[in-house]
Amino acid sequence: MVLIKTKKEIPSSEITPEAVYLSRRKFIGQSSAVVAAGALAHSSLALPDSWIEDHGYEPGEEIGEDITPEKHATSFNNFFEFGTRKEDPAAHAHQMTVEPWSIEIKGRVEKPGKLSLEDVLKDIDLEERIYRLRCVEAWSMVIPWIGFPVKRVLDKYKPLSDAKYVKFTTLLRKDEMPGTKNLLSSIEYPYVEGLRLAEAHHPLAIFAIGMYGKVLPNQNGAPFRLVVPWKYGFKSIKSIVKIELTKRQPRTTWNRSAPHEYGFYANVNPEVDHPRWSQANERRLPERLFAPKRIKTKMFNGYDEVASLYEGMDLKKKF
């Protein structure tokens, strides 16, 4: 079952895949939002919280699974650019300048260009999506994101017919990102991720600009990140500055660093273990000291509606 927050509670029995895309809360009046963002340009955030609040955000009802408390989702993070310990991003990511923010769209598109975040968001309605986030390290959370389908952005710049993949790149600014100066780092920077275009076009794949009703904190990938809920968390690349449409499969950060451990596809799959640990179960965070919450991992993290993207593929080989 997909978790989507709506104004009225919908019995889970009535949540069909179609409802997943259609029963969404929309935030309207986008054009004035852009004005508001401009008026608050002195803020250190690319988008101020009021940008979201002004557009009708109200916490909705929880459906089915408990949402992870915000303090855990914003203090237990993976963002290697700020260090490898879970507490490092919350401690150091405030050093990252996110205002102003621009995103370069290039490669196999009709309309390439470098755009301000406000321009990228123009005419795009926001939605709240409550998704499970399953990390390859076998822990998971449930996070209420605010964002919109990736396809809405890609369509604006018109992918050419030979575009087959989308490559995403994170900001690299060494003087603001202490983790990138670590000479022993297991990964290379900038952080790069990629999807097949058909995956990026799936309605469940979103760009997020907020969570818990507010703009994204820096440690969670402000001001603009990817969220692909049926894949391991490392695909959900943070603080994106470049989107490139390509003909060939891009080389991605974790896949380059350890190809036998981290596949390009990285679909959540309880039947394909990581070489060093099982993927059959996960720890749902936060755990209480003597009460670990171990739950069974579901294929595609429970988002079965994506299965048709992989029809006829051997997912043990294309892991």
**Alpha helical stretches, state H, 185-282:** 197-200, 253-257
CA distance 200 to 150: 6
Q: What part of residues 71-100 is at the interface with ligand MTE (CB under 6 A)?
A: 77-81
Q: List, as one string, the DSSP characters of 119-182.
A: HHHTT--BEEEEEEEE-TTSEEEEEEEEEEEHHHHHHHH-B-TT--EEEEEE---GGG-GGGG-
Residues in Cβ contact with 249 at an 8 Å cutoff, skipping those fewer than 6 apart:
164, 165, 194, 196, 264
Closest to ligand MTE by CB, 108 vs 139, is 139
Collapsing DSSP to helix, strand or coil, 311 comes out as coil
170: contact with ligand MTE by CB under 6 A: yes
165: contact with ligand MTE by CB under 6 A: no
State the nearest-atom distance from the C-beta of 170 to ligand MTE, in Å. 4
CA distance 41 to 57: 21
Number of residues that bind ligand MTE (CB under 6 A): 17
- Give phi and psi for 231, each to the nearest 5: -115, 160
Closest to ligand MTE by CB, 77 vs 252, is 77
237: contact with ligand MTE by CB under 6 A: yes
Stretch that binds ligand MTE, among 105-113, 147-155, 229-237, 294-302 (CB under 6 A): 229-237
Decide if 100 contacts 85 (C-beta within 8 A): no
255: contact with ligand MTE by CB under 6 A: no
CA distance 3 to 65: 8
State the nearest-atom distance from the C-beta of 40 to ligand MTE, in Å. 24
Q: What part of residues 106-135 is at the interface with ligand MTE (CB under 6 A)?
A: 133, 135
220: contact with ligand MTE by CB under 6 A: yes
Collapsing DSSP to helix, strand or coil, 230 comes out as coil
Residue with the closest Cβ to ligand MTE? 233
- Give phi and psi for 225, each to the nearest 5: -135, 170
Closest to ligand MTE by CB, 170 vs 301, is 170
For ligand MTE, the binding residue among 167, 238, 242, 284 (CB under 6 A) is: 238
Q: What part of residues 173-202 is at the interface with ligand MTE (CB under 6 A)?
A: 191
What does the per-residue mask of binding to ligand MTE show for 6-45, with x meaning CB under 6 A? ----------------------------------------
Stretch that binds ligand MTE, among 196-204, 228-236, 261-269, 296-304 (CB under 6 A): 228-236
Closest to ligand MTE by CB, 81 vs 199, is 81
State the nearest-atom distance from the C-beta of 105 to ligand MTE, in Å. 18
Sign of the CA dihedral running 239, 268, 230, 70: negative
For ligand MTE, the binding residue among 101, 157, 165, 234 (CB under 6 A) is: 234
Q: Which residues pair with 148 in a beta bridge?
A: 207
**Backbone dihedral region for residue 128 (phi beyond 0: left; psi -120 to 50: alpha; all else: beta):** beta
Binding site for ligand MTE (CB under 6 A): 77-81, 133, 135, 170, 191, 220-221, 233-234, 236-239
